[in-house]
Structure 1
């Protein structure tokens, strides 16, 4: 039977070549959309690694042409922490969770380079504010004031990249491309390891991260200070207003903005979701056009082969056999298109395209193949029924 189908397909090779090409491009489109959706879905289901609920961000800016002394800033933070409903206050850098700001670098240890790594500044209360989960070691404490190297905490993925299966605690590493004269502040001492974190968006993959300790007695004058504030459940606008008044009570030259981190997350989610939805709609539009094209070609194919169908029926072929013949031809043609598309798609995991693991690509290949077979079978079903219903006397009389 299969040999007979190949013979029929070969006899109509020009028309079938167009069908194979159409199925090939359909597979490629479905593979691309599937790879994006699988990657986005996998990232969405991956835990963020920290708790963004009941977490606010406080941005304090000095006046025009002014800077805020660290001692005065610490006093503001102490007063904010004493407000009812405030649990923890932590000073950090400007690349806060879910906002459009980042600070990246790479690091090296004995010839191993980390690649792109998010770098954050954090004080001793940052872990309590974000509720990071420590896997090894500890967070910064006052005991680190006399350290000869910059204390840091790293994520598990950065630990695996730099140290592999070796112990990480107490190890010292530096920038990915250090200069000739390495200063003590350019050498980082690992104090702890936390779970992988995703502070970019709900649909982003976790990126290796590192937190450098902010020295408490640093005398730097700040133009803008970013503070994370963990509040009690149920707190809202009233507490936000109290925080703003507290900062203004220290000096009216400073301006304050209080934002909810979860609101930033939802805003970033919508911003990230728009291109994904656009890609899906474009893929759906192309697939609908392909399905309509296949349906029309198969319908035309039957009208052109009525004499063949009538002759086969006159020689004893059943209506069901004719229907399965057309459906089988379509499945064989689909297999050729899927194989060609699979050869192209297989290059993506082999070449590690877009720095993605092989799993999303392999799942996308399987999903695209299943979708193509389903679409072609659905498009071939009604034309196959029409072919099965053709009576031999009617078909031969028309000829």
Structure 2
């Protein structure tokens, strides 16, 4: 039977070439959309690695042409922390969770180089504010004040990249291109390891990260200070207003912005979701057009082959047999298109395209193949029924 189907397909190779092309492009579109959706879905269900609930971001900016002395900034932190409803305040760098601000670089240890890695400044209270999960070692403490190297905490993925199976605690690494004169603050000593984190968006993959300890007693003058404030559950606008008034009480020359981190997350989610939804709509539109094209081509093929169908029926072929013949032809033609599409799609995991693992691509290939077979079967079902219902006398009389 299969050999017979191949013979019929070869005899109509010009017409079937169009069908194979349509199936091929359908597979490619479904593969692309599927790879995006699988990757986005997997990232969505991956834990963020920290607790953003009941966390606010507080950004304080000096006036035009002014800077903030560290002593006054520390006074702001103490007064905000003393407010009822505030659990803790952590001073950090400007690349706060879920906002469009990143600091990244590559790091190296004994010839091993990391991919672009996010790095943050963090004080001794950052762990309490974000509730990161420590896997090894500890967070920063006052005992690190006299350290000869910059104390850091790294994520598990960065630990595996730089140190592999070796112990990581106490190891010292540097920037991948540190320059000729390496300063002690550019040599990073691992104090602890935390779970992988995703501070970009709900649909982003975890990125290797590192937190550098902010030296508590330096004399730096800052233009902008960023803080994470963990508050008691249920706190809202009243406490935000108190925080703004507290900062203004230290100096009215500074401006204050208080935002809920979860609101930033939802905003970033919508910003990321829009292009994904647009891609899905465009893919759905293309698939509908391809499906309509397949349906029309199959319908035309049946009208052109009425004499063949009538002759087969006259020689004893059943209506069900004719229907299954047409459906089988379409499945074989579909297989040619799917194989060609799979060969193209297989290049993506082989070439490590877009720095994605092979798993989403392989799942997308399987999902696209299944969807193409389903679409083809649905498009071929009604024309096959039509072919099965043709009576031999009617078909031969028309000829």
Question: Same-fold call, TM > 0.5?
Answer: yes
Give the Cα separation in 2 of the matches to 1:363 and 1:395: 46
Aligned to 1:255: 255
Give the Cα separation in 1 of the matches to 2:230 and 2:310: 79
| Residue 35 of structure 1, CA deviation | 0.3
| Residue 180 of structure 1, CA deviation | 1.4
| Residue 71 of structure 1, CA deviation | 0.7
Aligned to 1:53: 53
Aligned to 1:149: 149
TM norm structure 2 = 1.00
Give the Cα separation in 2 of the matches to 1:136 and 1:67: 38
SS of 2:74's equivalent in the other structure is helix
Give the Cα separation in 2 of the matches to 1:197 and 1:117: 12
SS of 1:252's equivalent in the other structure is coil
Once the two structures are superposed, the pairs formed by residues 115-264 of structure 1 within 5 Å of their partners are 115-264=115-264
| Residue 9 of structure 1, CA deviation | 0.4
SS of 2:221's equivalent in the other structure is coil
Structure 1 runs of 4+ with >3 Å offset: none
Give the Cα separation in 2 of the matches to 1:321 and 1:197: 58
SS of 1:98's equivalent in the other structure is coil
Give the Cα separation in 2 of the matches to 1:243 and 1:185: 33
Aligned to 1:44: 44
Deviations 1:54-113 (A, max 9, x none): 000000011111111001000010000010100010000000000000000010000000
Give the Cα separation in 2 of the matches to 1:211 and 1:218: 18
SS of 2:68's equivalent in the other structure is coil
| Residue 259 of structure 1, CA deviation | 0.2
Aligned to 1:358: 358
| Residue 218 of structure 1, CA deviation | 1.1
SS of 1:199's equivalent in the other structure is coil
Query: Is residue 27 from structure 1 mapped to residue 27 from structure 2 by the alignment?
Result: yes
Query: Is residue 270 from structure 1 mapped to residue 270 from structure 2 by the alignment?
Result: yes
Aligned to 1:73: 73
Deviations 1:188-210 (A, max 9, x none): 00000000000000000000000
RMSD between aligned alpha carbons? 0.4
| Residue 178 of structure 1, CA deviation | 1.2
Once the two structures are superposed, the pairs formed by residues 279-358 of structure 1 within 5 Å of their partners are 279-358=279-358
Give the Cα separation in 1 of the matches to 2:71 and 2:198: 32
Give the Cα separation in 1 of the matches to 2:66 and 2:293: 67
TM norm structure 1 = 1.00
Give the Cα separation in 1 of the matches to 2:151 and 2:106: 17
Can you give the 5+ residue segments of structure 1 that lack an aligned partner in the other structure?
none
| Residue 183 of structure 1, CA deviation | 1.1
| Residue 181 of structure 1, CA deviation | 1.5
Give the Cα separation in 1 of the matches to 2:337 and 2:250: 71
| Residue 184 of structure 1, CA deviation | 0.6
**How many aligned positions are there?**
399
| Residue 382 of structure 1, CA deviation | 0.2
| Residue 302 of structure 1, CA deviation | 0.3
Deviations 1:157-189 (A, max 9, x none): 000000000000000000111111111111000
Give the Cα separation in 2 of the matches to 1:182 and 1:236: 46
